[in-house]
């Protein structure tokens, strides 16, 4: 097991000094969704390259900044840029934003991502709330972080995604008249997009959307006791669902088109954070 407190000692003391407040909610912005940071009054922004020991993001559309912001009296830490397993990083590096969020005291984590749509009722531009997450391909790696799950670890997984937080998100979508889809987010390790055969396999096993992030972050986060939910922006039809060939450009272009709806939803979620549901 990796001792993250030891490993990230200087990173933590840097951030504990730099953080202007204890955040209520942490948000990790997925591919192409980074512009959401422009929607809030930013209190303070830190380049991840200035943080000792923080891995560099190598993916186009991931900026590598941590922002502190406030909206409707809720304090937010916003990760603009994610650390992916397919970039060659280790699991303890991928979950660093979750680890930081927990150390700074965030009670909620909203994970966002770009994903390929498998469910035939989804079209690019849809937003999907994860009603469950499939991490079959990544779960084993989590033993590096949490060891062999004891009673608490095992039990906390049952709250993933967090039911109250998911209710808040559904309510926020209703308030904003957003047709928020629901489904299972299925993790694949990448680094390439899937083959049509892999998508057929995932579909048979209940995946509605597919992507290369989120699930390990979510499991670790709920293990730490953070109320965790995930929203996918369906940026493309998954491989073989349509004839169209997949590219990262399609992913960022669709995310760009949907960014106003996404921003309206996330703002409404933050505003309603302290409603009864969560
Ligand atoms: N597959 C995996 N990851 C993705 C996709 C996809 O189709 N779209 C956006 N991220």
The whole-number pLDDT of residue 67 equals 96
**Better-scored residue on pLDDT, 99 or 248:** 99
Question: What are the tens digits of pLDDT across the range 201-212?
Answer: 999 999 999 999
CB 108 within 8 A of CB 226: yes
- Cα–Cα distances in angstroms (integers) from residue 199 to residues 115, 130, 132, 213, in the given order: 12, 18, 18, 16
Q: Which residue, judged by its Cα, is nearest atom 7 of ligand 1? A: 116
Extended beta strands in the chain, E state:
25-29, 41-47, 65-71, 74-80, 108-117, 127-134, 180-187, 209-211, 227-237
Report the pocket of ligand 1 as residue ranges, CB < 6 Å.
114-116, 188, 193-194, 210-212, 235-236, 238, 246, 251
CB 127 within 8 A of CB 180: yes
CA of 259 to the centre of ligand 1 (A): 17
Question: What are the tens digits of pLDDT across the range 174-202?
Answer: 999 999 999 999 999 999 999 999 999 99
Of 241, 270, 191, residue with least CA distance to 24: 270
**Any bridge partners for residue 242, and if so which?**
239
Residue range 71-96: mean pLDDT, rounded? 93
Name the percent of the chain in helix, strand, coil, to the closest 5.
40, 25, 35
Nearest atom of ligand 1 to the alpha carbon of 239: 7
Percent of the chain, pLDDT > 90? 74
| 158 Cβ neighbours under 8 A, 6+ residues apart | none
Residue with tokens 């997009």: 193
The whole-number pLDDT of residue 275 equals 66
Write out the CATH class of domain 4-276: alpha beta
Nearest atom of ligand 1 to the alpha carbon of 246: 7
Of 113, 117, 40, residue with least CA distance to 81: 113
The whole-number pLDDT of residue 140 equals 86
Q: Which residue, judged by its Cα, is nearest atom 10 of ligand 1? A: 115
Sign of the alpha-carbon torsion through 190, 195, 197, 199: positive
Residue range 224-232: mean pLDDT, rounded? 96
The whole-number pLDDT of residue 249 equals 86
């Amino acid at each position: 097991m990796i001792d993250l407190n030891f490993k990230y000692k200087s990173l933590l003391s840097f951030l504990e000094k730099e953080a202007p407040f204890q955040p209520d909610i942490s948000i990790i912005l997925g591919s192409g969704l980074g512009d959401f940071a422009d929607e809030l009054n930013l209190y303070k922004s830190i380049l991840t390259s200035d943080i000792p020991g923080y891995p560099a993001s190598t993916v186009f559309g991931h900026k590598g900044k941590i922002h502190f912001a406030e909206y409707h009296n809720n304090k937010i830490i916003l990760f603009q840029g994610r650390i992916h397993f397919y970039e060659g990083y280790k699991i303890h590096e991928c979950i660093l934003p979750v680890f930081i969020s927990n150390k700074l005291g965030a009670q909620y984590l909203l994970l966002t991502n770009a994903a390929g749509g498998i469910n035939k009722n989804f079209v690019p531009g849809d937003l999907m709330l994860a009603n469950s997450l499939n991490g079959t391909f990544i779960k084993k790696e989590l033993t590096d972080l949490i060891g062999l799950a004891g009673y608490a670890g095992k039990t906390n997984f049952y709250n993933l995604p967090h039911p109250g937080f998911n209710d808040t998100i559904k309510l926020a979508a209703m308030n904003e008249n957003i047709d928020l889809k629901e489904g299972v987010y299925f993790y694949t390790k990448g680094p390439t997009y899937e083959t049509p055969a892999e998508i057929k396999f995932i579909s048979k096993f209940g995946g509605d959307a597919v992507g290369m992030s989120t699930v390990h972050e979510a499991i670790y986060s709920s293990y730490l006791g953070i109320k965790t939910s995930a929203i996918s922006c369906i940026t493309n039809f998954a491989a073989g669902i349509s004839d169209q060939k997949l590219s990262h450009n399609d992913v960022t272009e669709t995310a760009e088109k949907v960014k106003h709806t996404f921003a309206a939803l996330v703002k409404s979620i933050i505003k309603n954070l302290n409603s009864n549901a969560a």
